[in-house]
Structure 1
Amino acid sequence: MTKQVAVIGSLNYDIIVKQQRMPYKGETFIADTLVQGPGGKGANQAAQCAKLGMPTIMVGKVGQDRFGDALVGSLTAIGVDTSYVKRTGSTGLGIVHVMPDGDYYSSIIKGANELITIQDIDEIVGDLMNAAFIILQQEIPQQVTEYIIKRFKDSETQIVLNNAPACHIPSDVLRGVNLLVVNESEAAFMTGKSITTIEEASSAGKKLQEITGDTVIITLGKEGSIAVNNEKNEYFAAKKVKAVDATGAGDSFIGALVYSLSKGQSLDECMKFATEVSAKTVMKEGGQESFPTEKELRKGLVR
């Protein structure tokens, strides 16, 4: 059976603390509430693809512990093929502090995510060749991510790279990426230029696009996003909504973007759709559970 999208990346169990502010150095601060659930950039992006109805496989590693059980179980329940998720070591964790305006501070413990190897990829390369898209991030070893990009550079499979957390990537590797998605801080890291305005984001997008030769998207949170390719450099405003929790919103955006691309829609249509979906995400608490489903879209909750 042909798989529409293969997500190769991290699976983290998220521990989300909602609080009024971050504590000062040496201070013990009392938080408001605790939310626990599935996360990790890779798993999140796979979850959103599957929730929108795309056949999705997840490739990664979790620990032989209750966190791993929860992560595999939650993805399986929403329709992701988890048969490519291996169990070893301890599961990666995400510690997230969410502020009243929905913004957050996040740290991760890599755990089993760091144990993915090039050999793991070689074992399933035939299955991966069936994917229309491969989505990658940087929460697994960078050498594995770069190997995948080089391995599929001349294939029909489209490579989507979310360079997060931001890493230095050789130009020859970036030229194998069909769609690069980064936020403003990641774009600033990659270009060495500060990004504080839409104009600066547009300039950074152009600079990155000249390297990849394909499509670059820079997300700007509540300020919107920039899309750059050979034909355009366009700004897309964010939806004005009451944000409750921005956890996973960037991953939701990417999943929705790839879903829309798989339907053959124009870049403008894809950007508008992804913007709508991520806006719905920030209006609910939590990570994957806040991602809108195909059924919700059909009911007109997003479109």
Structure 2
Amino acid sequence: MRLIISVIGGINVDIKGFSKNIIMKNSNPGNIKFSCGGVARNIAENLGRLNIPVKLFGIVGNDFFGNYVIKETKKYGVNTNFIETIKNKQTGIYLSIVDNKDMLVSISDMNSIDHLNKEYIDKNEKNIFNSKYIILDTNLNEEILKYIVYKNIHYKRTLILNTVSIQKAKKIYNIKNNIQYIITNLYEFNSFFNKDIKNIEELKEIKNYDSLCDIIITLGENGIFDLKNKKHYKSLKANIKDANGAGDAFLSGFVYGLYNNKSIDESILFGQCTSVITLESENSVSEILSKDVLDNKFYREVVK
């Protein structure tokens, strides 16, 4: 039996508006589209597309979007049996405006995730922890993040966390040393680490970092920095169409590497390759992502 990965966190619908040279306080011509979204859900779909057994845990409302998200996510081999549907509650919605290939602003309505509480974790405990890796995102309430970390003292599973946003990253301040891998960007890192780091040189100067946690910091066009190993990785070239989902994709590719017993260096490159594939799509999860596509991209980068 193949080992399974559990993913717990945000499930929602993405509504994206695309326009060029947006004029504020004005109606701008463009295109609007909606698709499945949510950090945890995106990661689960990415892993499913990469042929990794994955279970998704989260909350949706009893509405059109909730039914749509479950139906679409199942198509990629994700086990959605543990997603709970809540009556009289709206499925989470993430609204973003994209200007010249980058996100201008976004609004996240994730109130439904309040129903992902201790009772939900207790009810699904065996299924959550019967996994090789457990992936969390900070859409989860701080109390629930702490509760899962506490439960893991017994199970000793590898925890991997995506910090999601500057505000939400602050939730992990007291538990960061109990998580094996944290995937974050520089702004989110500063938020939960109480730092004001501005560049790679300042990251290299951080002293006395002896935590068991490996913090991997995404730096956009400046690449990746592995804090524990004090190692910088240059960025890969990408023809960017939309940056939404790129961080989720990086984490997914990184986990794909770990799952297949690759080194940290190789796993980070798998993460970068997955991120580039996603950056070159208008969707938060690339429609062309597959195990073969990722492996081919990885080996092309290796032999450059």
Equivalent residue for 1:151?
151
**Residues 291 and 249 (structure 1), Cα distance of their counterparts in 2 relative to 1, 3 Å cut:** farther
Aligned letter for 2:41?
A: A
In the alignment, the residues of structure 1 paired with residue 226 and residue 154 of structure 2 have an alpha-carbon distance, to the nearest angstrom, of 24
Shift of 1:171: 5.6
Equivalent residue for 2:265?
268
Q: Deviations over 1:119-172 (max 9, x none)?
A: 101111112221000000111222112211121134231001112233334665
Post-superposition, which runs of at least 4 consecutive aligned residues in structure 1 deviate over 4 A?
Answer: 169-172
Shift of 1:245: 0.7
Aligned letter for 2:193?
A: T
Equivalent residue for 1:227?
226
**Residues 288 and 246 (structure 1), Cα distance of their counterparts in 2 relative to 1, 3 Å cut:** same
- TM-score, length-scaled by structure 1: 0.90
**Higher deviation after alignment, 41-50 or 28-37:** 28-37
Equivalent residue for 1:134?
134
- Is contact 1:150-1:173 (8 Å) kept? no
Secondary structure at the counterpart of residue 53 of structure 1:
coil
Equivalent residue for 1:55?
53
Aligned letter for 1:146?
A: K
Q: Which structure's relative contact order is higher, taking Cα pairs within 8 Å and 6+ residues apart?
A: 1
Equivalent residue for 1:239?
236
Shift of 1:203: 4.5
In the alignment, the residues of structure 1 paired with residue 230 and residue 6 of structure 2 have an alpha-carbon distance, to the nearest angstrom, of 28
Shift of 1:22: 4.8
- Is contact 1:6-1:134 (8 Å) kept? yes
Shift of 1:29: 3.0
Equivalent residue for 1:168?
170
In the alignment, the residues of structure 2 paired with residue 22 and residue 154 of structure 1 have an alpha-carbon distance, to the nearest angstrom, of 52
**Residues 168 and 178 (structure 1), Cα distance of their counterparts in 2 relative to 1, 3 Å cut:** same
Secondary structure at the counterpart of residue 167 of structure 1:
helix
In the alignment, the residues of structure 1 paired with residue 261 and residue 128 of structure 2 have an alpha-carbon distance, to the nearest angstrom, of 21
In the alignment, the residues of structure 1 paired with residue 246 and residue 193 of structure 2 have an alpha-carbon distance, to the nearest angstrom, of 24
**Higher deviation after alignment, 2-11 or 178-187:** 2-11
Secondary structure at the counterpart of residue 20 of structure 2:
coil
In the alignment, the residues of structure 1 paired with residue 21 and residue 154 of structure 2 have an alpha-carbon distance, to the nearest angstrom, of 48
- Is contact 1:224-1:237 (8 Å) kept? yes
Q: Provide the aligned length of Structure 1 versus Structure 2.
A: 295
In the alignment, the residues of structure 1 paired with residue 9 and residue 70 of structure 2 have an alpha-carbon distance, to the nearest angstrom, of 13
Secondary structure at the counterpart of residue 240 of structure 2:
coil
In the alignment, the residues of structure 2 paired with residue 295 and residue 4 of structure 1 have an alpha-carbon distance, to the nearest angstrom, of 20
In the alignment, the residues of structure 2 paired with residue 103 and residue 124 of structure 1 have an alpha-carbon distance, to the nearest angstrom, of 35
Q: Is 1:251 paired with 2:251?
A: no
Q: Percent identity?
A: 23
- Aligned positions of 1:1-303 closer than 5 A: 3-24=3-24, 27-88=25-86, 89-165=89-165, 166-169=168-171, 173-203=175-205, 209-210=209-210, 212-229=211-228, 232-290=229-287, 292-297=289-294, 300-303=296-299
Q: Structure 2 regions of 5+ residues with no counterpart?
A: 300-304
Q: Structure 1 regions of 5+ residues with no counterpart?
A: none
In the alignment, the residues of structure 2 paired with residue 297 and residue 157 of structure 1 have an alpha-carbon distance, to the nearest angstrom, of 26
- Is contact 1:2-1:130 (8 Å) kept? no
In the alignment, the residues of structure 2 paired with residue 37 and residue 261 of structure 1 have an alpha-carbon distance, to the nearest angstrom, of 28
Equivalent residue for 2:302?
none
- Is contact 2:180-2:213 (8 Å) kept? yes
